[in-house]
A and B are shown apart, each in its own frame.
Chain A
Amino acid sequence: MTSRVAIHSVSIALLALMSAQPAMAEFAMLVASAESSSVDAKAADTSAASKEASADPAAPAAPQCVLNGVSVGFFAIGETGFCGTVHGQVMEFLGKDFATSDVGFVTQRLPSLRSAPGGLTLETAAPILFYYNKDVSYQTFGLYPGTDSMVNFLTFRETDLGTLSTFVNARLVGRLERDSYGQYFSFSQIDGSAWMGAADQAWVQLAGLRVGIQPSLFGFSRVGYAVTPGYSSILTTPAISYTQRFDHIMGSPYSASLSISAEDPSRREYADGMLARYASPRAPDVVGQTRVGMPGILIHFSGVLHQIRDESADLCCNAPIVSTHGWAASVGGEVRWKWSQLIGDLGGDFYGKVMVSAAGGQGALGYLGIPFMGLDYVASSTGVIQRSPGESLIVSYEHLWMPTLKSSLTFSWFQTYLQSAPETILPWAPPLGFETSVRGSRLQASLETMPAPGLTLGLESAYTWSDANGQYNNLPAAPVVVGFPNLVAYIKKAF
């Protein structure tokens, strides 16, 4: 019976993995666990049928790949005892970015004349940040086609130590981009490698221990229910994680999980190489996560400790490499319901679900899921680290009008704050420093229909606001305020 529940959970989780939303996977796992009482009851009815199937010499050689007497899409892999399945999705989109200007940031280390034991010395030292209204019309001219397609392969089998599973997801994300030299098709890359960029997930898991490229434990749901990202973090990264599950706590419908992981920090760096530049090697980020699930509800807490080890001050000014830590924390929740259960007949056959996620931190902006409009920290020429605080929030609602038609509304918001320790440019003059705050918000609305099983057509519109403001030596600078709409039409085909 346990294996049946496991298969049931895995099958639901797999569907979520198809859509590359690990939070959905966890939701499915926990909700499946919370609802496993009914599964158990059904399993009891089918156990006899299962035994009959086993006794039938014509039955499949791998009965564990059959759930409740019905195949759920898994196939036996030879005589290995593993079950497997291959799924995928092709999504093609066509978008239009209406932005003509955006907030641009330039960083510089100003030449500074310093008093030294042997006299005055000149070096590029004092950090400064300039923000301005940047023309991006040459990047947003015309439409941009793109793709976000993936194929994945899941295998699993039961062992004496628990379920052994493997998962590989190859994902191709690319779109037409433009710069001052022309246009080109750009695919997501990691360390300059498109192959690494395509390795979205590749992990092995035994019971609760998972090793490989996997979803970070920090994230809850990146995009809300829209197809393009809101301001919330979700990321796959090389990691080692362990999850302990607690099903039906004290006989209640509540289930929970506790997880901890050591994650590659390099995919979370918000650094420009000038005012902030990470030195190697660094300790992995330590991420903790707690999730609580019950029928229709999932609650998420996570936190991370992120090492900052800066070498920008060393490269510019021979300062010692300084190490400190940043941190971030996140809380989120998702609730699903049938409207008729809340407002009676007025609710019809409509379903609704809402998710909320908030994150905050200092010195770890890469965990907030925000655009690259901030730096994790600013290093002074003497190695003093000014960690940048930041917060992000996303609220998303999805309304299911009918099984083949749904719409969503998502609002995202973030803010960051950067500052430098004032530094001397001229020995006889007051030190120069900056303080800059950046805010942004985004409203997205989408409509999605499924004209045929596995085929989805969607349209999403969004409007983005951003502003930057600051001061230099307590003198106010002028703000930059921008806003622009965006449209995306897409077609998805799952297989």
Chain B
Amino acid sequence: MRLINLALLYWLSMLAFANAQALQTFQNALFNIEIVVTQGDQTGSSQVESKQNGVLNWFFGIQDAKNLNSVNVNQTGAFDDTRIVQQGTNNVAVNLQNSRQISGSSAPAIPVPLPNYNRGPVYIAEQTNQGYLSYFSSGEISIVTLTTPGLTAIGSFGRSH
């Protein structure tokens, strides 16, 4: 019994830690793509929370942190797809899909919230403790990437001033 309590305490503490340190992203376009390939932070933990609100939502994640890999993907769309690979000591994965399934279901369609089509292009990038995070949103598409240094390939160009 004591062993179970210790395990539960450990698990709750890990979840609390995950909630405190999770990297959160929110996408609200017609087509949302998020790609996560990370080895976690310096403590060996990777925590990601993703919300995708559109018609077509893709989440593709590979977490390879040695201590904790936690991912929470909440998708609201007509065609949702989540693929997660976790390699570590403790792995937690939650995937909520509020839409009808892509195939094999005759369930009635759930109304899809309209994305904001008038949103101008936004590009934000920063170096987080879990890797390089870039967030791009323009019109009907949104692309988010979180990548480790070995899989981060970025360039830029433009007019000089």
Contacts and interface: CB of A to CB of B under 8 A. Distances in A.
A110 B158 contact: no
Contact of B143 (A107, A128, A275, A480): A128
Interface centre among B118, B122, B140 (most CB of A within 10 A): B140
Contacts of B83: 426
Given A107-B155, A111-B35, A473-B31, A132 B123 contact: yes
Interface of B: 30-31, 33, 35, 37, 58, 60, 62, 81, 83, 118-123, 125, 134, 136, 138-141, 143, 145, 147, 151-161
A110 B134 CA distance: 11
Interface centre among B118, B121, B125, B134 (most CB of A within 10 A): B121
A270 B159 CA distance: 12
B155 A108 contact: yes
B153 A274 contact: yes
Contacts of A134: 158
Contacts of A110: 35, 143, 145
A273 interface: yes
Nearest to A275: B155
A476 B71 CA distance: 30
Main secondary structure of the interface of A (DSSP, over half): strand
Given A132-B123, A478-B139, A425 B60 contact: yes
Contacts of A274: 153-155
Contacts of B157: 105, 107, 270, 272, 372-373, 375
Nearest to B159: A371
B36 to A, nearest CB: 9
Contact of B138 (A132, A371, A466, A473): A132
Q: Which 8 A-B pairs have the closest CB atoms?
A: A274-B155, A477-B138, A132-B123, A272-B155, A371-B159, A478-B139, A477-B139, A109-B153
27 contacts: A102-B159, A103-B159, A104-B123, A104-B158, A105-B156, A107-B154, A108-B155, A110-B145, A123-B151, A124-B147, A124-B152, A128-B143, A131-B138, A132-B138, A272-B157, A274-B155, A275-B155, A316-B153, A371-B158, A371-B160, A375-B157, A426-B58, A475-B141, A478-B121, A478-B138, A478-B139, A479-B121
A102 B158 contact: yes
A137 to B, nearest CB: 10
A99 interface: yes
Contacts of A272: 155-157
Given A130-B121, A426-B81, 20 more contacts: A97-B161, A102-B159, A103-B158, A105-B156, A106-B134, A106-B154, A107-B155, A107-B156, A124-B153, A130-B123, A132-B122, A133-B120, A136-B161, A270-B157, A472-B143, A476-B139, A477-B141, A478-B119, A478-B139, A479-B121
A131 to B, nearest CB: 6
Contacts of A97: 161
Interface string A132-145: 11101001100000
Contacts of A473: 31, 141
Contacts of B33: 425, 432
Contacts of B158: 102-105, 134, 371-373
Nearest to A112: B35
Interface residues of A, number: 49
Nearest to B118: A478
B74 to A, nearest CB: 19
Contacts of A109: 153
B60 A99 contact: no
Contacts of B123: 104, 106, 130, 132
Main secondary structure of the interface of B (DSSP, over half): strand
Contacts of A104: 123, 156, 158
A405 interface: no
A342 interface: no
Contacts of B153: 108-109, 124, 274, 316
A110 B123 CA distance: 15
Given A372-B158, A472-B31, A429 B125 contact: no
A372 B60 contact: no
A1 interface: no
A122 interface: yes
B1 to A, nearest CB: 43
Nearest to A126: B35
B160 to A, nearest CB: 7
Contacts of A372: 157-160
A124 B151 contact: yes
Given A124-B151, A133-B120, A108 B134 contact: yes
A99 to B, nearest CB: 6
Interface in A456-495: 466, 472-473, 475-480
Interface centre among A102, A104, A371, A478 (most CB of B within 10 A): A478
Contacts of A133: 120-121
Contacts of A443: none
A486 B62 CA distance: 48
Given A102-B158, A477-B138, A122 B121 contact: no
A103 B60 CA distance: 29
A373 B151 CA distance: 26
A335 interface: no
Given A132-B123, A476-B139, A108 B145 contact: yes
A447 interface: no
A400 interface: no
A113 interface: yes
